[in-house]
Amino acid sequence: MMKKTKHILAFTVASFMSTSLFAVSNQDVKSVVEAQQSTYLNTLKELVNIESGSKDLDGLNKISTLIAERLKQAGAEVSVHQLTDIYRMDDTPEKVGPVVKAVVKGTGTSKIMLIAHMDTVYQKGQLKDQPFKIEGNKVYGLGILDDKQGIASIIHTLETIKKLNYKDFGTITVLINADEEISSPGSRKLITETAQNQDVVLSFEGGGKDGSLRLATSGIGAAYLDIKGKSSHAGVRPEDGVNALTELSHQIAQMQDLSNPKTGLKLNWTVATAGKTRNVIPDAASAQADVRALKVEDFDLVEKTLQDRVKNKKLADSQVAVKFEVRRPPLVANDKAISLTDKAKSIYKDELNLPLNVLSTATGGGTDAAFAGLRSKAAVIEGMGLSGDGAHSTNAEYVLLDTIVPRLYLATRLIIESSKK
């Protein structure tokens, strides 16, 4: 009798443990994912119907509460972080919205991170002009592509994992921040630190029109020139003044050669202001430059060069100051990311009979994936979200309905593939 009891117990334990990598077939994943499409759309509608501009703290707190609750329902331990350690840039608000952090613990060793953002570029009140609606294969809504589909994708990926009872990963860590559209001044440190010991980071920005995955993005920086001079009458005694516009022109002229096509470094002066009255020598002038780089060290070089150049003044009595800020570091493709996207392409081709494009060189723009990759050796993949277009438009932002199932399937399968011993 004792032997029989032990045998039954062993069988029961083995059956429980069999809900693992080897028990979850591709068809299991497909069935669960396909059943999620209608609930995914419900989640997406809920998210779109909460306005959450980057500076709308009430809206951000409201949507973060919804996100936290949904992640708890998906089986995660959830915490909401109000951020106070803020990297101050030229346009950084006094306060930023929260970060929702969620952790699902498994029985394996792999560490996987999923990221998206809850803030949008829109102002409060614009939702009425771009409500949630479905027209054919397009699902419209305010901020639906950038990045509410990403939040919904993470929620339903975790729900898929839960329904499959799949636990072979070590941890799945989710970060959903509220300041991405303003260059993540509050959340960048948390993203970087959390990503440091991860094996895989999947970022759920939209996949563009064709669903491309991205392994590299440009770094984005900004330079600011501020000139102080002395005003005087331009017609009567111009020599008594110190023309800030003249000095600004000199400074910009001597900084026209900082771009380097060989390294991908680009510095372009794009905004300038000086003076208010035609007959007054301007006592102040300023300019801004957009800076792009493919390597972090190029930003360091630009900053040093700017500081050195401004020492050469045309007008000795002018005061010249330059400030440089890194809005986003570049994301550089590594071998782990390339290997994982090779698996992604195989999954799309062999299991879904779909093509999948992977971009391993930067094509512009910048995302929080770069903060995740800054100090991490993880495989970082951007563009895991749905396909669509119209981001940052006032009435035409949409995602493609028929990409919901493939993208949820891909995210789930990559978690499984990344958790294999």
Distance CA 198, CA 367 (A): 18
Distance CA 177, CA 89 (A): 18
Give 328's strand partners: 220
* Whole-number Cα distances in Å, 19 to 126, 161, 163, 166, 314: 46, 11, 11, 6, 73
Of 180, 181, 325, 382, which one is the catalytic site residue? 180
Give 78's strand partners: 102
402 is catalytic: no
335 is catalytic: no
Closest CA to 131 of 68, 207, 187, 48: 48
* Whole-number Cα distances in Å, 84 to 144, 190, 195, 215, 277: 28, 11, 20, 30, 41
- Give the DSSP per-residue string, 149-181: HHHHHHHHHHHHHHHHT---SSEEEEEEES-GG
Distance CA 362, CA 353 (A): 27
Of 51, 56, 119, 247, which one is the catalytic site residue? 119
Distance CA 216, CA 373 (A): 10
Could you list the active site residues?
119, 180
